[in-house]
Amino acid sequence: MDPAAAAAAVRHRLRDDAEPVRNLATFLTTSFEPEAVQLHSAYLNRNLADREQYPATDELVQECVRILGELWGGDGCRVVGSATTGSSEAALLAGLSLLHRWEERTGSGARRPNLVMGAGVHACWRNFCRHWGVEPRVAPARPGCVGLDGAVAAELCDESTIGVVAVLGGTLDGRYEPVRDIAAELDQLADRSGIDVPVHVDAAGGGFIAPFLDPDLQWGFDLPRVVSINASGHKYGQVPPGLGWVLWRDRDHRSGRLGFPVNYLGSNHTYHEFTFSRSAAPVVLQYYNFLRYGFAGYRSLHARSRRLAQDLAARLRATGRFQFLGDGSDLPVVAVTAEPDLKLSQLARRLGECGWAVPVYQLPPDLEELTAMRVVVRSDLRPSDVVAFAAAVDEFTRPHAV
Ligand SMILES: Cc1ncc(COP(=O)(O)O)c(C=O)c1O
């Protein structure tokens, strides 16, 4: 086939997919400046794994790890970490490191290890548990809250707990779990029982929001109990799909068993990722974004999104028809449940007719009888979009329309 004809056929094939900018379901970055697009295509053909031929690209990875380590309250000279395909790969690596380190600490092959988490954790954590034979020890959801609470986290821990996952920016509600309280409860548990449980922070969304918008919040490596953190560069890091980060506070906290040597590309290199060959372009764009935005740029970009999310929440609240799981005050995400007479699935269908994609989902046990609807506000949403979206919701929710 002629290239132009093949490209046209592909476009035709994909014509009915949602328009990414109007996809309010996704956390992924959906708009890019022309310079970013040019850089992305210029470096698409570099293999991130080929450190022999692309040492400067590998140095960008290390530079990004240092920058993130410092943003997350760590020592930039001591943190170690990897670029991954997303937070899911990062979570699998962090979970495996917790498991190995627990095995090394306790030497206990006989007991089944467990991982403590809140009801709202992303599916990648259950995935980790399923594939590595770890019991997911999940705190039940409470009315209006799917997040983990410090006291409950400590109650669920025992000698077989490999770690506690604390989420900074929940997938279902956009809320931060109280990482400092969780760490403090685990400190007390260690003092009274000797059970010493490390914390991993899943900051898939919050890792690129909290350092800029919530500088006084303690959630990262400044808490000694936090051993590792993951974040998605392709969410609020503003990078195209295909980039996550996992960092450990230092070399001692990353299990040595994650590393594997490879020498067939040239000299010896040790890798700590699951994925080997892939494009270096997302890492190049992460570094570009650090230069392009800097601290002040990221802060103003995300402050705008948070303001828009809070404005949207206020408009939805004014209808009097929703309860809020998340109101945009942590991640710029609005998540609501509604009275039984208001069918969120019908509302989402109506919004779909107006061109907005919004997800409706069942909440986890013990709130499974409730459905929720979530809007992710990203940097390419305009104030006029918020007004139009809220007006469409208002029209649907007015008593005569139900
Ligand atoms: C809290 C949390 N953890 C992990 C993930 C998985 O991230 P990724 O899509 O980058 O693999 C997500 C995705 O939304 C998430 O919200």
* Domain around 184: 35-290
Q: What single-letter amino acid sits at 73?
A: G
Final residue belonging to a domain, choices 247, 270, 290: 290
Ligand 1 center–CA 171 separation, angstroms = 7
CB atoms within 10 A of CB 118: 28
Burial state string for 134-144 with b = 16 or more CB within 10 A and e = fewer than 16: bebbbbebeee
* Helix ranges (DSSP H) in 167-226: 179-193, 210-213
Check which CATH number belongs to the domain holding 104 and give it.
3.40.640.10
Cβ burial of 382 (10 Å; 0-12, 13-18, 19+) is exposed
Q: Is residue 153 part of a domain?
A: yes
**SS3 for 92?**
helix
**SS3 for 285?**
helix
Q: Say if residue 169 is in the same domain as residue 133.
A: yes
Statement: residue 137 has pLDDT above 70: yes
Kindly give the number of the ligand 1 atom that is closest to the alpha carbon of 86.
10
Final residue belonging to a domain, choices 267, 290, 313: 290
Q: Say if residue 305 is in the same domain as residue 331.
A: yes
Based on the structure, what is the number of domains in the chain? 2
Q: Is residue 382 part of a domain?
A: yes
Statement: residue 389 has pLDDT above 80: yes
Q: Say if residue 8 is in the same domain as residue 139.
A: no
pTM here? 0.97
Q: Is residue 280 part of a domain?
A: yes
Q: Say if residue 311 is in the same domain as residue 257.
A: no
Final residue belonging to a domain, choices 290, 319, 335: 290
Whole-angstrom distance, CA of residue 315 vs CA of residue 359: 19
Q: Is residue 155 part of a domain?
A: yes
Segment 98-121, tens digit of pLDDT = 999 999 998 866 799 999 999 999
Ligand 1 center–CA 272 separation, angstroms = 20
Q: Is residue 295 part of a domain?
A: no
CA angle 365/348/375 to nearest 5° reads 70
CA 227 remoteness from chain centre: 17
To 10 degrees, the CA torsion angle through 61, 271, 110, 140? 30
Q: Say if residue 118 is in the same domain as residue 213.
A: yes
Statement: residue 402 has pLDDT above 70: no
Kindly give the number of the ligand 1 atom that is closest to the alpha carbon of 171.
16
Kindly give the number of the ligand 1 atom that is closest to the alpha carbon of 27.
14
Ligand 1 center–CA 331 separation, angstroms = 13
Q: Say if residue 207 is in the same domain as residue 318.
A: no
Check which CATH number belongs to the domain holding 353 and give it.
3.90.1150.160
- Which residue's alpha carbon is nearest to atom 16 within ligand 1? 171
Q: What single-letter amino acid sits at 33?
A: E
Segment 177-232, tens digit of pLDDT = 999 999 999 999 999 999 999 999 999 999 999 999 999 999 999 999 999 999 99
Whole-angstrom distance, CA of residue 223 vs CA of residue 184: 9
Kindly give the number of the ligand 1 atom that is closest to the alpha carbon of 232.
10
pLDDT at 107: 85
Q: Which residues' Cβ are closer than 6 Å to ligand 1?
A: 27, 86-88, 91, 122, 124, 167, 171, 202, 204-205, 232, 244
Q: Is residue 72 part of a domain?
A: yes
Q: Choose the residue to mutate in 27, 115, 273, 278 for probing ligand 1, maximizing ligand atoms within 8 Å of C-beta.
A: 27
Highest mean pLDDT among 267-271, 290-294, 338-342 belongs to 290-294
Q: What is the DSSP letter of 177?
A: P
Whole-angstrom distance, CA of residue 344 vs CA of residue 346: 5
Q: Say if residue 208 is in the same domain as residue 330.
A: no
CB 244 within 8 A of CB 233: yes
Statement: residue 401 has pLDDT above 60: no
